């Protein structure tokens, strides 16, 4: 998809200006175009970039004696805290760092942003935000000077990377500016942020009358209108209000996703429950149809089935009390057991008797349970009671199937 | 219209949530009851179907029983007269087998599905052999007599038994003549 060209709002010279950057697919090398005053050229929030004035963003170049990312991260956090630059709430949301490795060390250029975008764009939506020093090209190993309203901005580079910037917010004379620049250079060289004194000086044409002759010997002086460029920009910072809005939107999106997931689970359960009920109803109808068919198939002998419940006990000799007694008696040993009670009531058979010993009673019980004709009755015998003469009184119970 | 505040929105959400929960409660209750009812119905129908299938597999047996019932028809029950005749028959057989009747009582008839069961309860005393001979005599297939309960108790060290018996006879229900 073709990306729309981005527009950069930057305060160069006196006013906020709107610049149009070349979009994707456009002719390579086409320079950014000045649209005019920012107030007249506010493009869509999706495409516009706000360049924060340099005076609002503090530059903090710090050397860390390691290249291990974890060590660098921890060292920077500690260093910022010691210097009192860590923003409120102890978060690093407002600190964006760029790292340059050199000789086993890491030069971290921390940019400490304000909490919010400056007026008149505080509360206005922008797609991306960046400090103005990172949106211009200061030139390789040079110093760039331009005005942002009443502020004079000096940006120093190491190679092509921006490593430091400072602003002068009072009307200084050229001599004072020279001293200021020299002082900054010496400080940066002393702390090894810069390897050498700036080798080139890039000036905004609006500073045409500024005479830096005699300073930075051998450094040529160039003029540039500082058109915005995205080469050094990483857009890592956002105002707190934007972050808050994004957090809320993220939270709302997550809540919505959870609600949708719950609704989906609810619907799945409801569907499963409905299907289960439907399946039961279908099974019930199927069984009813089967029963109707089976009923028709068995209708001719259904009256006999009903009557046999009453007639059967008087017709089937297997359940006759006499027949059962016959099977019981044939399991009695030749001597040693005498039956005292034989009772058949409501399909339950009870036999009581006395045996000369508990062992004989148990043998009788064992013979009963192994009898092919009596096995169906599930015989039970509690432990026989021993009588004073060592005889045993026993009771057997069985149930007709 | 005024945009609702956060607390108003929260209140509406809580209210809607409560309504949703309440609806769910009733729906779940309805579903649970319906499911329970349908499950019980399916279980009962499965059992009935299994019984019918078992009947079908036993078809030859039931046809034989039907033929047997036709070959040994039940007497028709014509009120008290049939029951008295049944009691007299039992008394006669007991006397024939030398058993002494201690007590007897004609119980109320039970009626079920076009059949009537006359019931007689009595106690007799006699030797075990006599009791068994009597039982052999009366309980023959085709007599439609059912020994509902039998308690044989030895009353001394000898062979004398006390038998308490409840016996029933199956009749086919007939129309009882009524006085106008």
Chunked into runs of 10 residues, chain A (401 residues) has average pLDDT values of 69 84 61 78 78 91 90 88 71 74 88 86 86 88 89 91 92 86 92 89 80 70 82 86 89 95 95 94 95 90 85 85 90 89 91 92 92 89 89 92 79
Q: What was the pLDDT predicted at A252?
A: 94
Residue of A nearest to B60 (CA): A301
Q: How far apart are CA A193 and CA A164, in angstroms?
A: 8
Cβ contacts below 8 Å, chain A against chain B, sum to 123
User: Closest partner residue to B56 among A298, A325, A341, by Cβ?
Assistant: A298
Pairing state of beta strands B160-173 and B145-154? antiparallel
Q: What was the pLDDT predicted at A305?
A: 85
Give me the residue label for tokens 């910072």.
Answer: A237
Residue of A nearest to B116 (CA): A310
CA-based radius of gyration for chain A: 51
Site from A277, A293, A298, A312 to mutate, B interface, most B CB atoms within 10 angstroms: A298
Site from A292, A311, A313 to mutate, B interface, most B CB atoms within 10 angstroms: A311
Residue of B nearest to A280 (CA): B38
CB A53 within 8 A of CB A248: no
- With beta carbons under 8 A apart, name residues in chain B contacting A276: 35
Site from B6, B41, B161 to mutate, A interface, most A CB atoms within 10 angstroms: B41
Between chains, do B69 and A305 touch, taking CB under 8 Å as contact? no
Q: What was the pLDDT predicted at B47?
A: 95
Mind telling me how many Å the CA of B13 is from chain A's nearest CA? Answer: 13
Band of residue B102 on the pLDDT scale cut at 50, 70, 90: confident
Provide CB contacts within 8 A for A315, sequence distance 6+: B68, B72, B141, B142, B144
Residue A37: closest CA among A58, A55, A54, A14:
A14
Q: What does DSSP assign to residue A246?
A: H
> A347 touching B, CB under 8 A?
no
Residue of B nearest to A343 (CA): B151
> A209 touching B, CB under 8 A?
no
Residue B98: closest CA among B136, B134, B150:
B134
Mind telling me how many Å the CA of A272 is from chain B's nearest CA? Answer: 12
Tokens representing residue A353 in the block: 């008797």
Q: How far apart are CA A129 and CA A235, in angstroms?
A: 5
- With beta carbons under 8 A apart, name residues in chain A contacting B52: 291, 294-295, 297-298
Flag whether pLDDT at B55 surpasses 70.
yes
Q: How far apart are CA B101 and CA B83, in angstroms?
A: 18
Q: What was the pLDDT predicted at A2?
A: 46
Tokens representing residue B177 in the block: 């003549």
Mind telling me how many Å the CA of A274 is from chain B's nearest CA? Answer: 9
Q: What was the pLDDT predicted at A92?
A: 58
Q: What was the pLDDT predicted at A5?
A: 65
Q: How far apart are CA A44 and CA A179, in angstroms?
A: 43
CB B5 within 8 A of CB B13: no
Q: What was the pLDDT predicted at A1?
A: 43
What is the complex's ipTM, to 2 decimals? 0.74
Would you tell me the crossing angle of helices B128-138 and A321-330 to the nearest 10 degrees? Answer: 130
pLDDT tens, position by position, B10-49 = 999 999 999 999 999 999 999 999 999 999 999 999 999 9
pLDDT above 70 as % of chain B: 97
Mind telling me how many Å the CA of B72 is from chain A's nearest CA? Answer: 10
Between chains, do B52 and A284 touch, taking CB under 8 Å as contact? no
Label residue B88 exposed, middle or buried (CB < 10 Å: 0-12, 13-18, 19+). exposed
Task: Specify which residues A105 forms β-bridges with.
Answer: A102
| Span B51-72, average pLDDT | 90
Longest dimension (CA), chain A: 145
Q: What was the pLDDT predicted at A308?
A: 87
Task: Specify which residues A37 forms β-bridges with.
Answer: A17
Mind telling me how many Å the CA of A173 is from chain B's nearest CA? Answer: 57
CA dihedral B170, B173, B175, B179 (to 10 degrees): 60
Q: How far apart are CA A367 and CA A361, in angstroms?
A: 10
Q: What does DSSP assign to residue A380?
A: B
Q: How far apart are CA B102 and CA B126, in angstroms?
A: 11
User: Closest partner residue to B170 among A297, A311, A339, by Cβ?
Assistant: A311
Which pTM was predicted? 0.57
| Span B113-127, average pLDDT | 88
CA dihedral A204, A210, A213, A215 (to 10 degrees): -70
Mind telling me how many Å the CA of A308 is from chain B's nearest CA? Answer: 8
Residue of A nearest to B27 (CA): A270
Q: How far apart are CA B16 and CA B27, in angstroms?
A: 16
Q: How far apart are CA A331 and CA A324, in angstroms?
A: 11
Mind telling me how many Å the CA of B8 is from chain A's nearest CA? Answer: 18
């Amino acid at each position: 998809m073709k990306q729309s060209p981005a527009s950069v709002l930057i305060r160069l010279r006196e006013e906020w200006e709107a610049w149009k950057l070349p979009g994707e697919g456009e002719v390579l090398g086409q320079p950014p175009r000045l649209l005019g005053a920012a107030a007249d050229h506010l493009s869509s929030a999706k495409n516009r970039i706000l360049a924060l004035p340099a005076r609002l963003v503090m530059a903090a170049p710090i050397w860390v004696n390691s290249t291990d990312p974890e060590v660098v991260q921890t060292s920077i956090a500690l260093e910022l805290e010691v210097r009192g630059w860590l923003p409120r709430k102890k978060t690093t949301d407002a600190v964006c760092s760029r790292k340059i490795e050199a000789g086993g060390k890491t030069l971290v250029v921390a940019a400490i942003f304000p909490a919010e975008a400056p007026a008149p764009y505080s509360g206005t939506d922008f797609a991306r935000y960046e400090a103005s020093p990172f949106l211009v090209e200061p030139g390789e190993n040079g110093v760039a000077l331009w005005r942002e309203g009443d502020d004079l901005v000096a940006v120093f580079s190491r190679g092509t990377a921006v490593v430091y910037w400072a602003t002068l917010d009072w009307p200084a004379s050229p001599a004072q500016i020279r001293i200021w620049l020299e002082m900054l250079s010496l400080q940066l060289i002393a702390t090894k942020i810069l390897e050498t004194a700036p080798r080139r000086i890039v000036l905004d044409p609006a500073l045409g009358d500024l005479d830096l002759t005699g300073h930075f010997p051998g450094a040529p002086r160039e003029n540039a209108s500082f058109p915005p460029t995205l080469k050094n920009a990483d857009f890592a910072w956002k105002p707190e209000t934007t972050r808050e809005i994004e957090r809320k939107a993220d939270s709302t999106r997550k809540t919505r996703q959870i609600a949708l997931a719950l609704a989906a689970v609810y619907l799945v359960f409801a569907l499963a429950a409905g299907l289960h009920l439907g399946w039961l109803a279908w099974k019930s109808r199927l069984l009813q149809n089967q029963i109707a068919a089976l009923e028709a198939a068995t209708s001719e002998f259904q009256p006999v089935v009903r009557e046999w419940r009453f007639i059967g006990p008087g017709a089937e000799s297997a359940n006759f009390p006499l027949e059962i007694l016959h099977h019981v008696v044939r399991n009695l040993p030749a001597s040693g057991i005498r039956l005292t009670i034989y009772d058949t009531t409501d399909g339950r058979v009870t036999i009581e008797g006395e045996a000369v010993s508990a062992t004989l009673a148990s043998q009788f019980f064992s013979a009963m349970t192994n009898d092919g004709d009596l096995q169906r009755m599930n015989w039970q015998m509690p432990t026989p009671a021993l009588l004073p003469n060592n005889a045993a009184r026993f009771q057997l119970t069985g149930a007709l199937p | 219209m005024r945009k609702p505040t956060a607390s108003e929105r929260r209140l509406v959400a809580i209210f809607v949530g409560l309504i949703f929960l309440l609806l769910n409660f009733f729906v779940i209750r309805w579903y649970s009851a319906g499911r329970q009812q349908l499950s019980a119905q399916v279980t009962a129908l499965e059992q009935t179907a299994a019984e019918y299938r078992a009947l079908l597999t036993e078809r030859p047996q039931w046809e034989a029983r039907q033929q047997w019932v036709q070959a040994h028809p039940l007497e028709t029950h014509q009120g008290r007269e049939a029951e008295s005749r049944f009691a007299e028959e039992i008394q006669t057989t007991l006397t024939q087998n030398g058993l002494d009747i201690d007590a007897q009582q004609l119980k109320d008839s039970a009626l079920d599905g076009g059949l009537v069961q006359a019931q007689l309860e009595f106690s007799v005393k006699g030797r075990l052999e006599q009791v068994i001979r009597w039982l052999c005599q009366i309980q023959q297939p085709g007599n439609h007599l059912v020994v509902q309960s039998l308690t044989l108790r030895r009353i001394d060290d000898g062979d004398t038994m006390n038998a308490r018996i409840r016996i029933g006879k199956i009749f086919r229900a007939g129309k009882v003549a009524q006085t106008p």
